Each structure stands twice: as C-alpha cells, then as structure tokens.
A and B are shown apart, each in its own frame.
With several copies, the nearest count.
Chain A
Amino acid sequence: MIQSSSSPLPAEVNGSPLGTIQVISAKPLDIVDLLSQAHHPGAGAVVLFSGEVRDSNKGREVTCLEYESYVPLAVKIIHDILAEAREKWGLKVAIAQHRIGRLSIGESAVVVITTAAHRREAYEANQHIIHRIKHEVPIWKCEYFSDGGHQWGNNCNC
C-alpha cells in the first residue's frame, strides 16, 4: 500500500471522510448536522456536549463573547486529541467543533460528540476531550460585559 509520507493528516478524521467536519468554524455550529454524522450501528451510546454562552460570569452581565484562534495549530491539536481519544476509549465516532468570532448569549461555542459501544466510555472520552480542548488548544475567549468592559481569557465559562 502506497501512502504519501508527507501527509500530516490521516485519510479519515473524526470518523468521517477527511474535511467533512471543520474543527474550527467561523459560522454558527450546526449541532443537528453534527449529531446526524455521529450515528454508528455498533455504538450503543452517544454523548454530546455543547458549551454555550452564558448571560453572566461571576456576577457580571455578559452581552457577547468573541473567540479567536491560531487556526493551523488549533486544527492540528484538536485532530490529535480526537485521534488519541478514539484510540484510548475505542470510540466509534469522535467529533469536535469550536466556533470563532463573535457569539451571542445562548450560542454554542464548542460541541464534542463521542459514541461508543457502552456509555461509560462515551461519557469519559467526551469529558476528556472538552477538558483538553479548553486547556491545550490555541483558542482564546474575550468576554464583553454590559458595563462596557471586556476581558480576555477567563477560562471558566462551562
């Protein structure tokens, strides 16, 4: 089997053909579409996490959020996190997508979907993936408050 050794990505990511799912998205996340890609006949358990913009943080009223990212590195790290989780927990599907740009209250900032034969693995892997995405991926949040202030990098939204 001949494979290009220079290709940095596997032929399949997220359990879908390469490129189907963009892990960093400037458009609103389409949770329904992502879920529709997460079904697998061998999976008895599907766990979806959505991190959504809250209307307040530590007592200050939030009007909107902005996320920015160093995209090339973020994409690579998220793919690595998903591949490692797929391997470690024997997942059938592992999908993640993080929004960038300006978000209103209630919009989804990040979605993680994991499916496995049994539910323990799906829950554990899902929590592991979102933890790593929040702490390791070059994505930064700026909160805009109703009092006119803003603040970068308060890593506690969800």
Chain B
Amino acid sequence: MIMKIHVYAKLKDFFSPEFELNAVARNTDELKLRLLEINEGAKNILDSCRFAIEEGFIDHDHKLKENDTVIIIPPSSGG
C-alpha cells in the first residue's frame, strides 16, 4: 500500500517534506506508528499533529486508501 506523505514545519526536522510510504496504514493511528518506525524522535510532535487529505481534516477512523496523499499538520503558529 503506497501513500504520499507531505509534512510541514517542525516535522521537516524528522522527515523529508514529501515522500512515498510503502506500508500498511489503514488509518491515521497506524500511519503514525509507521512514521515512528522511520524516526521515533518525532513522537512528541506527531502526537500534537492533525491529518488532512486535500482541503479537509480527517479523523483517526478515516479509512486510508492506496495512493492517498496525506498531509500532516502540526499545531498552527501563524500571525
């Protein structure tokens, strides 16, 4: 199962801004585990992140699909 992952801000200290993930992740909880397998140092920041697809946030029970592009959204710090 291949997904595209886009990360922003502090997450870029742990991951490439955009990369392909080839792993089983049926929802965002599982996706989080797969990402921690890549870099466990991201635990704190990942725990405070939300996930989005296109223009909408998704819940932890949203079913991820092959070829989804998942956006990982750290807490806002605009303004």
Contact = CB atoms under 8 A, between A and B. Distances in A.
Contacts of A138: 8, 52, 71, 73, 76
Interface stretch (A34-42, A69-77, A82-90): A69-77
14 contacts: A67-B78, A69-B8, A73-B52, A73-B57, A73-B73, A138-B73, A140-B8, A140-B74, A140-B77, A141-B78, A141-B79, A152-B10, A152-B74, A155-B78
Contacts of A61: none
Contact of A134 (B56, B74, B76): B76
Interface residues of A, number: 29
Which range holds the interface residue count of chain B? 10 to 19
Interface in B1-27: 6, 8-10, 13
Interface of A: 8, 51, 67-70, 72-73, 76, 98, 109-110, 130, 133-142, 152-155, 157-158
A122 B8 CA distance: 31
A140 B78 contact: yes
Interface string B51-79: 01011110000000000000101111111
Given A8-B55, A73-B56, A140-B9, A157 B75 contact: no
Nearest to B10: A152
Contact of A68 (B8, B55, B57, B79): B8
Contact of B79 (A8, A76, A110): A110
A153 B71 contact: no
A60 to B, nearest CB: 16
Contacts of A152: 9-10, 13, 74, 77
Given A140-B9, A152-B9, A152-B10, A70 B52 contact: yes
A46 B78 CA distance: 16
